[in-house]
Amino acid sequence: MDLKRLKRDVLYTGKVFDLIVDQVEYPSGNKGVREIAHHPGGAVVVPLFENGTVMMVRQLRYPLGVHVLELPAGKLDKGEDPAVAARRELEEETGWLASSLNKLTSIYTTPGFCDEELHIYLATGLHPAEDGHKREEGERSMTIHLLPLSDAVKMAEHGELKDSKTIIGLLLARRYLEREK
């Protein structure tokens, strides 16, 4: 690392992320401050049926004050394997299970101030979970939406979808399927 950390203060420890302020020294000798939103990372799922239909969810995103159409996703528990989290989130949010899970990529969401890394998976061989979905309190208003993957990709290309993990997941799922043909 080009910077030397002189001091670290954890200002807030939250349920979703922690706020950290580092006092740093640059190679020049000048001092500065770096603010970090520390996040444990997450898993994102592109649930794709054999007929080319993708399952998405619409949920309230409180910071924006709007409902957002996006792929199922959730935060990793401490030390959790991202693939395990992807399967858990798929079932929790949609009530579906996948017999196959293929990792498409992982991404840094906002590396200028946040260390969150999301792991994006393509889920196929979908079948309903015996007990349905297991949504948390804040997810109860979530709704499921089924779209042809091609339509979802067009929505991403035309700016109708604004969630970055969803756009990346859809585009890479399409690319994966094209390579598999």
pLDDT of residue 2: 86
Q: What is the pLDDT of residues 8-39, one digit of tens each?
A: 999 999 988 999 999 999 999 999 999 999 99
| pLDDT band, very low/low/confident/very high, at 136 (cuts 50, 70, 90) | confident
pLDDT digits (tens, 9 = 90+) for 84-107: 999 999 999 999 999 999 999 999
Could you list the active site residues? 137
Cα atoms in the 13 Å half-sphere on the side-chain side of 83: 9
The string of pLDDT tens digits covering residues 30-67 is: 999 999 999 999 999 999 999 999 999 999 998 999 99
From the list 167, 176, 177, 180, the residue with the least C-alpha distance to 56 is: 167
132 or 74: which leads in pLDDT:
74
The pTM of the full predicted model, rounded to 2 decimals, is: 0.92
Mean pLDDT of the chain: 94
The answer, yes or no, to whether residue 1 has pLDDT greater than 70, is no
CB-CB contact of 98 with 125 (8 Å): yes
